[in-house]
Structure 1
C-alpha cells in the first residue's frame, strides 16, 4: 500500500517578456521629479531592480540586451 500521494509536478515558471512599448511607457512614468522608482515598479508588478536596469539602458548607461 502506497501512503504517499503522487503530487503533480509544479509547472516551470516562464520568463516574462515585455514589449519595447511597455518598457518605454514605464520608463517615462519614472521621469518626473520626485517619482519613486519602487512605487512605479509596484504599480506595474515589476521588480524595482529590473526597472532600474531599464532606466539605465534608456539613459545610455548600460547596453541594451
Structure 2
C-alpha cells in the first residue's frame, strides 16, 4: 500500500513585509564591492532571485 503525505494549507499564505530600515540595510550591503549578492540574500534570509 502506498502512503502519500499531503500538506494541508489553511488559509492564504501571507506576504512578508519588510521595514524601511531593513530594506536600507540590504541595499547598503548590496552596494559594497566584491560581496556576492547571493551571500547577502542568504545572510538576510531572502531569496537570491529577488
Both proteins in one fold, TM over 0.5: yes
Show structure 2 runs of 5+ residues with no match.
1-7
C-alpha displacement at 1:48, in angstroms?
Answer: 1.4
Residue of structure 2 in register with 1:25 after alignment: 25
C-alpha displacement at 1:36, in angstroms?
Answer: 0.6
Give me the TM-score of the superposition, normalised by structure 2. Answer: 0.70
Aligned Cα root-mean-square deviation (Å): 2.0
Q: Which has the higher helix share?
A: 1
C-alpha displacement at 1:49, in angstroms?
Answer: 2.1
Residue of structure 1 in register with 2:40 after alignment: 40
Structure 2: distance between partners of 1:24 and 1:48: 17
Structure 1: distance between partners of 2:9 and 2:24: 33
